[in-house]
Amino acid sequence: MNFLHMAERKGFALLADQIIAHRNDQEKWTSDMLHLVDMSEKFLGSFYGEDIYVQARKQLKENGRWARFALHALQSVHPRVAKTAALNGGFQAAFLGRQKTLSLSEKYGINIPWIILMDPTSRCNMHCTGCWAAEYGHTLDISYETLDQIISEGENMGIYFYMMTGGEPMTRWNDIRKLAASHPCCEFMLFTNATLINPENVQEMTALGNIALSISIEGFEETNDSRRGKGCFRRVMKAMDLLHRQGMLFGSSTCYTKKNIPDVMSDRFFNLLIDRGCLFAWFFHYMPVGQDAAPALLPTPDQRAYVYHRIREVRRSSPDGQGRFLFPMDFQNDGEFVNGCIAGGRCYCHINSNGDMEPCVFIHYSNMNIKNHSLLECLSQPLFRVYKKRQPFNHNHLRPCPMLENPEILGQMIREVHAPSTDLMAPEQPDNLFQKCVSYAAAWTPEAEKLWKESHPESTHGSNS
Ligand code: SF4
């Protein structure tokens, strides 16, 4: 960071201290937050569009839902964690970093992401049915030095947000805490099964301040444990209670399937997450990837449409009707907020535990490995360039994916750039993926078109295909 940016960060840090100090005095807190909106507008100008500042001011002045949510989050999270998340995720990643990634993207003519998702290991302490970590075997690690190198190169390019999955990232806790300490301006999010969370590592996380957690949960006790093993659900609840008590920033991560949708979309499930202190909830549509995939678990069009409406409803209101908060995100149905597919470095990319730089955690093809190439070279690989050229893959962002909803496109791209399969257990041909997705895509299309027209009456585009 240059001197000017350090001074700007310092200015935001002072204001963050003030905002946190006033978190129990709504009037002062609102005034501080309005000051933050003014400062952000001055700093960023029209970078994110004027409407965002207008809406933020309106929310704060009218004590709207999002203002109440922000205050609730601030009151539940440890001051150090809240301040670091705001500075690293806000000032560093969304403000400073985003400007840099966009200018480099223009300079090199490639996508530069603002998030990198990495699997530091394929090792896991559990053996869940259908998990991609199980597919990749349990023997692969990216060395500390390589992880450190990726993050250092990323910081130089304006990338300050690093997510980790696996395998179980907590099996690499000693390395992850070193990385978090060595890169204090970066924000880290670990997707974890939570069974290795303990009072000591939670205390270390709180002291570091720049780590958040997304905890895997597949439903209630019986469903969760049938996939993840007996006793897992109770261990997850225990971990969430501990994280909540210590003021950690955390949420949940759930894969929704034909089987578990009634459970994981129920009021009871959302209220369970809120009771345990989750502030956000990721929902991932089941993807039929790999040799053990079960296309029978793909949601029906009615189920997917239900999830679309249900997640928007929970975001707008409260599942218990008492105004309690949770921010659910639907990786597949929320494409409209990010203009479709975010992969291939457009917003994010994935590095598997072998070091292969893949467009997305669900797309196991790559032309380059981070162990032999720089981050910039990996982001410049042919597969990422063809992603950039063809994104968005559909004008209807309820059909964003080149695999799931537009399955012919992935095969075309893979063949065009000769990207080999990076699935380490059993290389998968794109034709095989196509076969698993084609009938799903055809069944979803009419429902997706109907929903898109209803929510975007001004749209003049039909679908691409
Ligand atoms: S490749 Fe598919 S699953 Fe991955 S980000 Fe794009 S749309 Fe989503």
**177-197 tens-digit pLDDT:** 999 999 999 999 999 999 999
* Residue 130 confidence (pLDDT): 59
Which DSSP symbol is given to 80?
A: H
| Secondary structure element (H or E) that encloses residue 414, with its range | helix 407-417
Atom of ligand 1 nearest to the CA of 332: 8
Phi, psi of 183 (to 5 degrees): -125, 65
* Residue 465 confidence (pLDDT): 47
Distance from the alpha carbon of residue 241 to the mean position of ligand 1, in angstroms: 32
Whole-prediction pTM: 0.94
84, 111, 250, 373 from 346: Cα distances, Å: 25, 5, 25, 19
| Secondary structure element (H or E) that encloses residue 242, with its range | helix 232-246
Distance from the alpha carbon of residue 13 to the mean position of ligand 1, in angstroms: 35
Find out whether 240 and 215 touch, Cβ atoms under 8 Å: yes
* Residue 464 confidence (pLDDT): 55
Q: Where are the alpha helices (DSSP H) in 22-162?
A: 26-44, 50-61, 65-76, 79-85, 98-108, 132-135, 144-156
* Residue 120 confidence (pLDDT): 96
* Residue 136 confidence (pLDDT): 52
Q: Where are the alpha helices (DSSP H) in 331-404?
A: 375-379, 382-390
Q: How far apart are CA 136 and CA 149, in angstroms?
A: 23
- Going 183 to 250 to 89 to 385, the CA torsion angle's sign is positive
What parts of the chain have a pLDDT lower than 70? 128-138, 320-321, 460-465
Residues with CB under 6 A from ligand 1: 341-343, 359-360, 362-363, 400-403
Atom of ligand 1 nearest to the CA of 343: 5
Atom of ligand 1 nearest to the CA of 342: 5
Domain boundaries, the chain: 3-76, 348-455
Taking each helix axis from N to C end, the angle separating 50-61 and 65-76, rounded to the nearest 10 degrees, works out to: 80
Atom of ligand 1 nearest to the CA of 393: 7
Cβ atoms within 10 Å, residue 87: 23
Distance from the alpha carbon of residue 325 to the mean position of ligand 1, in angstroms: 27
Q: With left for phi above 0 and alpha for psi between -120 and 50, is residue 219 left, alpha or beta?
A: left
Looking at the DSSP bridge assignments, the partners of residue 363 are 360
Single out the residue of 196, 209, 207, 194 nearest to residue 277, CA to CA.
194
* Residue 80 confidence (pLDDT): 97
Separation of CA 13 from chain center: 25
Q: With left for phi above 0 and alpha for psi between -120 and 50, is residue 56 left, alpha or beta?
A: alpha
Distance from the alpha carbon of residue 83 to the mean position of ligand 1, in angstroms: 31
